[in-house]
Amino acid sequence: GSDSIGQTGPNVRWTFNGTEWAANGTAPSCSEPLGLQTPVDMSIVTGALWPGQQRGAYVAHGGFRFDDNVDNQAIVRAPLGSHLVQASQYLSGGTPQYLLFFSVPCGFFYRFDHVLEVPPAMAEALKDIPIGGEGESRTSFINPPLWVDQGDIVGTAVGIPPSNIFVDFGLYDVRQPNYVTPDPAWADLFARDKEFGHYGVCFFDYLPGTDGDTMRSLPTGIEGKTSDFCD
């Protein structure tokens, strides 16, 4: 549940200095496999957004759609123990949305976007974040960073009412760049997103059990199943 939010985890966090990511201390080793928990209930997921594709801008994240939901209620859980380190709240279609960034001590980073409601412990940590205008998702640092355990609820509703019900999820291995397709055109696409584009991974590969296979089999948006990260 949400009862462990704010308890202390390993006090190591990763930040990007404009060129590369670095930890503020000695990072523990990542377990192999990473041991991700699927952040949403796969039984209500109806569509998959693939990470590492051009959707307007180049985006390293993917996402989950819930088109059969009658409302925006969908529980989002922390896939790994991590610190909430940055966040923003901004308007999308006139509806306030949260963009949340988490640092995993061993050297991963993940983000959720289009979270509509958060549980009380998180709302308290986010209460001083200014609400940006339409599409203005500039982030603020959370001080102090908020620890969440794997499985803690970090969102209770997602998407843009009444019917655009989805949540974006991006997973990044910030220990080293992903080195996918280093051609000049790709580099230009990525120039604006050095922080995440160069470190994005195919999160389908990290989901437990058959969840990754399920994501690959689900319907997609108009962008289809193209991805620089996923085979």
Question: What's the pTM value of the predicted model, to 2 decimals?
Answer: 0.92
In the chain (231 residues long), the average pLDDT of successive 10-residue segments reads 58 91 94 96 97 81 95 96 96 95 97 97 93 90 94 97 95 89 62 81 97 97 88 83
Cβ burial of 135 (10 Å; 0-12, 13-18, 19+) is exposed
- Return the pLDDT at 11: 84
User: Contact, 109 vs 14, CB < 8 A?
Assistant: yes
Alpha-carbon gap, residue 63 to 90, rounded angstroms:
19
What pLDDT score was predicted for residue 58?
75
Q: How far is CA 83 from CA 108, 148, 160, 197, 212, in A?
A: 11, 6, 26, 21, 25
d(CA 99, CA 86): 8
Question: What integer pLDDT is reported at residue 177 of this predicted model?
Answer: 86
Residue 45 tokens read as 């997921």
Return the pLDDT at 1: 43
- Note the pLDDT of residue 19: 85
Q: Tell me how many degrees the CA angle 73-78-82 measures, rounded to the nearest 5.
A: 150
In the prediction, which pLDDT does 75 show? 97
